[in-house]
Amino acid sequence: MTTTPAPAKRITDIGPPHYEKFLHPLIKKNYGQWKYHESVASGVLRHVAESGDEIYSVRAGSPRLLSTATIRLFADLAEKYCGGYLRFTSRNNVEFLLDDRAKIEPLKKELLALGFPVGGTNNAISNIVHTQGWVHCHSSATDASGIVKSVMDALHDRFTHEDLPAKLRIALACCLNMCGAVHCSDIAILGVHRMPPQISKETLPKVCEIPTLIASCPTGAIRSATYDGKPSVEVTEEQCMFCANCYTVCPAMPLNDPENDGISIWVGGKVSNARSAPKFSKLAIPFIPNNPPRWPEVVDAVVNIVNVYAKHARKYQRMGEWIERIGWPRFFELTGIPFTRYHIDDFRYAGTTYARSTHIRF
Amino acid sequence: MADEGVKTTLLDELEKGPWPSFVKEIKKASETSPVCDDLLGQLELSYEEKKGHWKHGGIVGVMGYGGGVIGRYSDVPEKFPNVAHFHTLRVNHPAGWFYTSDALRTLCNIWERHGSGLTNMHGSTGDIIFLGTKTDELEPTFADLTKAGFDLGGSGSVMRTPSCCVGQARCEWACYDTMKLCYELTQTYQDELHRPAFPYKYKFKCAGCPNDCVASIARSDCSIIGTWKDDIQQDDAAVAEYAALGLDIQKDVCDNCPTKCMAWDGKKLTIDNHECVRCMHCINVMPKALRPGKERGATILIGAKAPIIQGALLSSVLIPFVPADELLETLKELTGRIWEFWSEYGKNRERVGELIQRVGMANFLDAIGLEPTPEMVAAPRDNPYIFFQKEDGKPKDGDGQ
């Protein structure tokens, strides 16, 4: 028996470094003792502690996909302006933590000169949470970064100004796997397939476990079959809803199709409990073809929904709360989005989404 | 330099405009890392053909771990040999995503030495993402990371890297120490994080208050959302100050209260705290005047997930209130029981939320030893098909002894 010599002193299972060593001294001192906060300017927050200490957070947008060169740049800026202390937000913004108010403007100026907009706080549109797309994913029905870039270019002023009725959160996932879990966003941009899997009959028996494959289909559309005397599967195409779960468990079932893949748009979800309960996003536009490099139809659709919302929603109303107030028929009327058969749910809990009252606005 | 070797006519369009450009980032990285030229080339091809060019999966990893590395191979390696392997490492981020400039430079040094120099800050679950390296570099990257005090995050059917909001580090609304809980859960379950033993993924997300800045109610199998039991802390002078500055307390605050538990007479705000559902609206609008109460803790909810396989779910209430200082112990005990049941009865690739839908919440509660409470439901059942249990019925005459 041959054995490979184990490397000396292999370190494993240590978990992440303890956060405490990365905290600004002022944060460490006032940990759990914060009293209130306020907005100083768009993208700048002031948190005040019981002790009277103050910390300023300057938030800047980032493309999320960052080179080490840019991370080094952020490190340099943090050293220059705030003792080297910074953090990232749950929406992929970078935040510099300053204890000196006088340094806010010079930092903002430098960030802007370097191409990083300051904003994303309160009633602004924050950064778009998104997935890998064509940059790094095998199952994407569209790109992620390119659409995010194009949409944020168009909504740039909404990032740098806090002038919407409430916060507005946009997320993008490039397929139904939803690494970006976009299903509770004010606006969700979701990549979709529209063609059933193309079965690679030659490779399937070599690379897939057929029982697992059959079990993976939520509608039971996959059945066993033989092909050339070898075990394989067949798909009842009318039962396929293009979720691509079969492809996830079996590489021989690809759904990708350049002409039929594209984007759907969903609206009115939220995760916060403020005022109304958290809710799912609902379908607004079932399909827009992929149109790289800048997806102008997707950009226009998102900008239109944002503008109609900004014009009609009452103060503090999130997208979904506004739509619940005015009703879905009026949402489609105001946005000019056509209502189609695809808007009516036909999966597991479909009945709960039918209108079960005569409350109709005319 | 990218512009010497690769033509990126379509991608160049994405260098224009005011929002920071990911194409510029890839080009920046390509100045020191030739693999990025091939990444640009392959991405340009995707833009031309409107389809991705990465092959399905591929099992690679570091010794002794079953997760933390996502294998990625090009389907056009003859055209772009430098991205023939282009694996991702998930690196467990520090709680709250706090860094020092030194820590960031350490990560940059490691990744420039062993990989493409491209990252995501951060990935969807919260990890630092190192984007693109070859199989041979995985073990050396891991050795350098652990030497620097970092470890890999989760992937596959494991407990995924837990994440949390900024919590008490910089937020007055945090009803418990989210960063501490997140760190302790991560350390407690290192084995479950690195070695797949579950039917599917399991996520923890710790949110300090009902605003839920980490989307725990939508994105985590176990959502821990801060809340309080006693009265909202109220500073009447500060309320008056907001009113004097032009805030319409009636319209902006009281009228938006979901339970209408607030009254404003032009001078004094009265809150019927018994009716308050801790939604946060009034506190969000007047952070100087209103604050969460002092008896703080969290609600524990179960079962959120994205659509695959049986449809998307939001988490639902499991324990209405756990005091802040009992959270870790309660969660450890509860999680042990949940994982035991899920491992035993969960089907392959069935999230715990889907298992609950399949077997019924009442059976799930029996299995993990929790009593049903009305806080768990939006409403009691409206269908009369009740699975009465045998032991609740009286034996018929002559049936038994």
Residue pair A266/A319 in contact (Cβ under 8 Å)? The answer is: no
Question: A33 and A50 in contact (C-beta within 8 Å)?
Answer: yes
For residue A350, how many C-alpha atoms fall within 13 Å in the half-sphere facing its CB? 7
Please state, in angstroms and rounded to a whole number, the distance separating the CA atoms of residues B75 and B52. Answer: 9
Q: Do B52 and A137 touch (CB under 8 A)?
A: yes
Exposed/middle/buried for residue A228 (C-beta within 10 Å: 0-12, 13-18, 19+): exposed
List, as one string, the DSSP characters of B276-310: -----HHHHH-TTTEE--SSEEEEEEE--B-STTT
Comparing A8 with B114, the larger pLDDT belongs to B114
Given a cut of 50, is residue B347 above it in pLDDT?
yes
Distance CA(B220)–CA(B242), nearest Å, equals: 37
* Confidence grade of residue A134 (pLDDT, cut at 50, 70, 90): very high
Candidates A73, A74, A94, A135, partner chain B, best to mutate (most B CBs within 10 A) = A135
Give DSSP secondary structure letters for A162-189: --SSS-B-EEEESSTT-TT-GGGSSEEE
Q: Is A58 helix (H, G, I), strand (E, B) or coil?
A: strand
Cα–Cα distance measured from residue A191 to residue A189, given in angstroms and rounded to the nearest whole number: 7
Percent of the residues in chain B that have a pLDDT greater than 70, as a whole number: 98
CB spacing of B186 vs A16 below 8 angstroms: yes
Model confidence at B191, pLDDT cuts 50, 70, 90, reads very high
Upper half-sphere CA count for residue B163 (Cβ side, 13 Å): 29
Q: Other CB atoms closer than 10 Å to residue B275's CB: what's the count? A: 12
Cite the DSSP H helix spans in chain A.
25-29, 68-82, 104-113, 145-154, 156-160, 204-207, 210-215, 245-249, 296-312, 319-326, 328-335
Give the residue among A163, A149, A197 at the shortest CA–CA distance from A298.
A149
Report the C-alpha gap between A41 and A58 in whole angstroms. 9
B contacts of A184 (beta carbons < 8 Å): 215, 217-218, 314
Neighbours of A190 (CB within 10 A): 26
Distance CA B108, CA B100 (A): 13
Is residue B206 within 8 Å of residue B165, measured between CB atoms? yes
Write down the residue that tokens 């005091």 correspond to.
Answer: B323
Q: Tell me B171's DSSP state.
A: -
Predicted local confidence at residue B53, as pLDDT = 97
| CB spacing of A136 vs B54 below 8 angstroms | yes
Distance between B393 CA and the closest CA of chain A, angstroms = 32
**Residue (of B82, B91, B85) closest to B111 by Cα position:** B91
| Measured distance CA(A105)–CA(A196) in Å, rounded | 54
Q: Which residue has the tokens 């120099």?
A: B117
Q: What is the pLDDT of residue A87?
A: 98
Nearest to B159 by CA among B221, B109, B114, B102: B221
Counted across chains A and B, CB pairs separated by less than 8 A come out at 358
In whole angstroms, give the CA distance from residue A197 to residue A233.
11
Nearest-angstrom CA–CA distance, A157 and A217 = 43
Query: Which runs of E-coded beta strand occur in B20-132?
Result: 69-70, 88-91, 98-100, 118-121, 128-131
Question: Tokens in use for B59?
Answer: 């099992």
Whether the ω angle into residue B308 lies within 30 degrees of 0, i.e. cis, is: no
**Closest residue on chain B to A215 (Cα):** B348
Tell me which chain A residues have a C-beta less than 8 angstroms from the C-beta of B21. Answer: 63, 115, 149
List of residues 6+ apart from A42 with CB closer than 8 A = A118, A119, A121, A122, A124, A160, A161, A162
pLDDT in tens, B253-305: 999 999 999 999 999 999 999 999 999 999 999 999 999 999 999 999 999 99
Taking contacts as CB-CB distances below 8 angstroms, the residues of chain B near A180 are 124
Average pLDDT, integer, range A20-41: 97
List the structure tokens of A8: 């000396």
Tokens standing for residue A170? 């946009």
Q: Which of helix, strand or coil describes residue A222? A: strand
Which residue from B minimizes the CA distance to A262? Answer: B50
Average pLDDT value for residue range A126-140: 95
Q: Return d(Cα B273, Cα B380) in angstroms, integer.
A: 25
- Distance from A293 to chain B by nearest Cα, in Å? 6
Q: Which residues of B touch A92 (CB under 8 A)?
A: 120-122
Mean pLDDT of B313-337: 98
Q: Over the stretch A167-193, which tens digit does the pLDDT of each residue have?
A: 999 999 999 999 877 999 999 999 999
Residue A3 has pLDDT above 70, yes or no: no
Q: Is the ipTM of this complex over 0.85?
A: yes
Q: How far is CA A128 from each of CA A64, A151, A153, A326, rounded to the nearest angstrom?
A: 9, 9, 12, 26
The Cα of A349 is separated from the nearest Cα of chain B by a number of Å equal to: 9
Q: How confident is the model at residue B198 (pLDDT cuts 50, 70, 90)?
A: very high
Rounded Cα gap, residues B164 and B177, in angstroms: 10
A6 by DSSP, 3-state: which?
coil
For A114, the closest chain B residue by CA position comes to: B20
Note the pLDDT of residue A181: 74
- Using a pLDDT cut of 90, give the percent of chain A over it: 95
Which residues of A are less than 8 Å from B127 in CB distance?
none
Q: Averaged over A340-349, what is the pLDDT?
A: 93
B385 burial (CB, 10 Å; 0-12 / 13-18 / 19+) is exposed
**Residue A143: in which H helix or E strand, if any?**
none
Looking at every residue in chain B, the average pLDDT score rounds to: 95
d(CA B22, CA B99): 22
Task: Tell me the β-bridge partners of A262.
Answer: A192, A289
Quick: pLDDT tens for B27-72.
Answer: 999 999 989 999 999 999 999 999 999 998 778 999 999 999 999 9
Q: Answer yes or no: is pLDDT of B324 > 90.
A: yes
> Could you tell me how far CA A223 lies from the centroid of its own chain?
34
Q: What is the mean pLDDT of residues A18-31?
A: 98
Average pLDDT over residues B81-95: 97
Predicted local confidence at residue B58, as pLDDT: 75
Determine whether the interchain pair A84/B13 forms a contact, defined as Cβ–Cβ distance below 8 Å: no
Mean per-residue pLDDT of chain A = 95
pLDDT band at residue B398, thresholds of 50, 70 and 90?
low
The C-alpha atoms of residue A32 and residue A50 are separated, in whole angstroms, by 10
Residue A53 to residues A104, A121, B174, Cα–Cα distance (Å): 16, 21, 18
Residue A2 burial (10 A CB sphere; 0-12, 13-18, 19+) = exposed
For B293, counting Cβ atoms within 10 Å of its Cβ (0-12 exposed, 13-18 middle, 19+ buried), the class is middle
The two structure tokens encoding residue B95: 């709680």
What does the pLDDT read at residue A6? 56
